[in-house]
Structure 1
Amino acid sequence: MTSPAGAEAFAHPALFYRGEQEYLDGTVPFVREGLEGGEPVAVAVPGPALDVLKDALGADASAVHFVDMTVAGRNPGRIIPNVLRAFTDRHRGTPVRIIGEPIWPGRSSLEYPACVQHEALINPAFEGRDVTILCPYDADRLDERVLTDAYATHPVILSGGGGRPSPSYAPEKIVAAYNRPLPSPPASAERTRFGARELSDVRHRAVARAARLGLSDGRLGDFALAVAELTTNSVLHGGGSGTLRIWSEDSQVVCEVRDRGYLSDPLAGRRPPAGGRPGGRGLMLVHSVADLVRIHTGPGSTAVRFYLGP
């Protein structure tokens, strides 16, 4: 397989593999070529794949930074800032290689829109950086829709030992296509309107509601932080007021904040915002503590929904 790295520009190929041997054939040479060239290499894949790659790399594994994507990337919205940017920013001035596998069999339909938007947003997030991010896709076990979307989010597809340009590369279309209205909250969801004067009260009431719904003491602090950031953003950047809803869903507590703002930057919350641009920092904090964040935005209306589990 010809390595996708080497050009002094950002590269984001997808690796379609079938079975463990094709996985190793596509990833191990990529890692070793980077190490031989003196490039920092990170591997962020699901835990079982980490073990397979470590075994295949042998002694070379000690030079690689490994991340369990099922932990660090449980919320796809924190992969760019907390995994990819965290590694590349530590190695500015030198080419960097990363294997990142954010979509694996078992990802839920609730998580998938955030996963595929993440893959699309990698491209503008790293444009102009000397970084190569190789994304493996299990072509045997993933839904055909996932593979179709991968063609749209990756400019090059690697498969069977060769590579070809994607005929349908259009990441901006994926970002727009998955910016869908969120499902309606259940009738049982507690609804509270708030403005600047009600910020403190609505936060205390929200935390108390989350505790009654069974959120553990250890996660109430994360919940309080996320609510504080989102409600403050609504007041400062979302028209001065908003609506907060809380409910339970399976084993998670769900909170949604709606306001009249508009997130014009699709990368808001996934990278440090440009100087002077409102918003983004608070949303990044929400991504950092939540298990999942779903967003729908349009002119005059934004809904941010986050999930916290035990």
Structure 2
Amino acid sequence: MTTTHPGPFDHRMAVYGADDAFVAAAVPFLHEGLGAPGEAPPVAVAAPDKLALLRDALQDDAKGVVLVPHTEWYTGSAANAVARNAGYLAAHAAPGGRIHLLMEPVWNGRAGRSARESTEWIRYEALANLLFAPMATTALCAYDTRVAGEAIVAAARRAHPGTGAYEDPITLTAELDSAPLPQPPADAETLAPPTGDTLRSRASACGLPPKEAELFTEAVLAAAAALGPVSRTLMWGEGPACVCELRTARRVDDPLAGFVPPAGGELEPDQGLWFTRQVCAYVDVRDDAAGATVRLQYG
């Protein structure tokens, strides 16, 4: 089923393949934000060379726009991007979340270095329609076909209302989660039960430094507490790609699980899957008739 996104969140998409086309899309959008009564200053998050183009095109108006290199904004996972956006809106947007945000992903960095990373980015784009639905925020996601590629752009159209290809976020994320996870390796170690000591010891054996082993342990325990009784725990891999898989009789069901920012600003282990998603590079959830398999990868 295809639906429009609920709420006032205005989620747009600009596709371009040349610098002048980027400027032609970005400058009117930023001027729209500058002219919106009662709004916070618009923000442009983009590659440094694109920010230079905007400074030249905006001239004196550039002083009213917050310009941020995208490598400083997109520094980790899709869940980290949710946290960054939510934190900025809470701290800087006008009441109701009124602000214009121009967002260009880092396609030659984490967000575009593999098919898996690209899938996580499309998940973020789809869930943004639900996560930010109550906010009167206007976002323009900029896709440069010279670095993003046609397949990524086509997938991103499905996550943006008004493109003609938009699909309901729940449907789209369910499709992303329909692919089976690779089988654990033969040398995966079974931990029973997943205590702090056993997890910490195995994370260290994977090659994680002590502080990172402790952080990953806290992330696994937070997920286990949120998921309910865990019937099986497997660990494998070599740092930083240390992996822990939890098997539970409880289905997760909610595609927003772990993506909704908690009320408190500090990151704490008692925040459950939110904490886990903020710490781990990947959190893969696969529901089935008997429960769920949740696979956590640190790096």
CA distance in 1, matches of 2:239, 2:217: 20
Q: What is the aligned partner in structure 1 of residue 20 from structure 2?
A: 21
Match of 2:102 among 91, 99, 103: 99
Query: CA 1:52/1:203 → structure 2, altered by over 3 Å: closer, same or farther?
Result: farther
CA distance in 2 between counterparts of 1:223 and 1:67 reads: 29
- Relative distance call for 1:214 and 1:127 in structure 2 (3 A) is same
Distance 1:219 1:32, change over 3 A: farther
SS at match of 1:306: strand
For 1:96-175, list aligned pairs within 5 A. Answer: 96-102=99-105, 104-105=107-108, 106-157=112-163, 166-175=164-173
Contact 1:50 1:68 in 2 (8 A): no
For 1:30, the equivalent position in structure 2 comes to 29
Where do 1:1-310 residues align within 5 Å? 9-37=8-36, 38-40=38-40, 41-45=42-46, 49=50, 53=54, 57=58, 60=62, 63-64=65-66, 66=68, 68-69=70-71, 72-80=74-82, 82-90=83-91, 91=93, 92-93=95-96, 95-102=98-105, 104-105=107-108, 106-157=112-163, 166-180=164-178, 181-194=180-193, 199=194, 202-234=195-227, 237=228, 240-248=229-237, 251-272=240-261, 281-309=271-299
Partner deviation per Cα, 1:252-286 (whole Å, 9 max, x = no partner): 22222221222222111111479xxxxx9311111
TM (norm. structure 2) is 0.80
Number of residue pairs aligned between Structure 1 and Structure 2: 278
Distance 2:75 2:287 in 1: 23
Alpha-carbon shift at residue 9 of structure 1 (Å): 2.4
Post-superposition Cα deviations, 1:9-35, rounded to whole Å, max 9, x if no partner, equal 221111111022222222233223312
Q: Report if aligned partners of 1:46, 1:70 keep a CA contact under 8 Å in 2.
A: no
What letter is aligned with 2:88? Answer: F
Runs of 4+ in 1 over 6 A off after TM superposition: none
Amino acid of the structure 2 residue aligned with 1:271:
V
1:123-146 CA-to-partner distances (Å, cap 9, x unmatched) read 111224211111111223334332
Does structure 2 retain, via aligned residues, the 8 Å contact 1:263–1:298?
Answer: no
Report the TM-score, using the length of structure 1 for normalisation: 0.77
* 1:86 alignment partner AA: G
Higher strand share: 1
CA distance in 2, matches of 1:58, 1:223: 47
Check the 8 A contact 2:285/2:293 in 1, yes or no: yes
CA distance, structure 1, for counterparts of residue 247 and residue 118 of structure 2: 22
The alignment yields a C-alpha RMSD, in angstroms, of 2.9
Q: Which amino acid letter does the alignment assign opposite residue 258 of structure 1? A: R
CA contact (8 A) 1:39 1:96 kept: yes
Tell me the secondary structure at the aligned position of residue 111 of structure 1. helix
SS of 1:246's partner is strand
Contact 2:71 2:106 in 1 (8 A): no
Cα distance, 1:51 vs. partner?
A: 5.8
Give the whole-Å Cα distance in 1 for the aligned partners of 2:155 and 2:135.
Answer: 24
Cα–Cα, structure 1 residues 186 and 269, in superposed 2: closer, same or farther, change >3 Å? same
Letter in 2 for 1:284: W
What is the alpha-carbon distance in structure 1 between the residues aligned to residue 222 and residue 51 of structure 2? 34
CA distance in 2 between counterparts of 1:110 and 1:249 reads 19
Indicate how the Cα distance of structure 1 residues 288 and 251 shifts in structure 2: closer, same or farther if over 3 A, else same: closer
Measure the CA separation in 1 of the matches of 2:186 and 2:121. 28
Residue 188 of structure 1 aligns to a residue in which SS? coil
Provide the rounded CA distance (Å) in 1 between the counterparts of 2:235 and 2:165. Answer: 43
Question: Over residues 162-219 of structure 1, what are the superposed CA-to-partner deviations in whole Å (9 max), with x where a residue is unaligned?
Answer: xxxx14444332111001332112112212233xxxx5xx321121111122112342
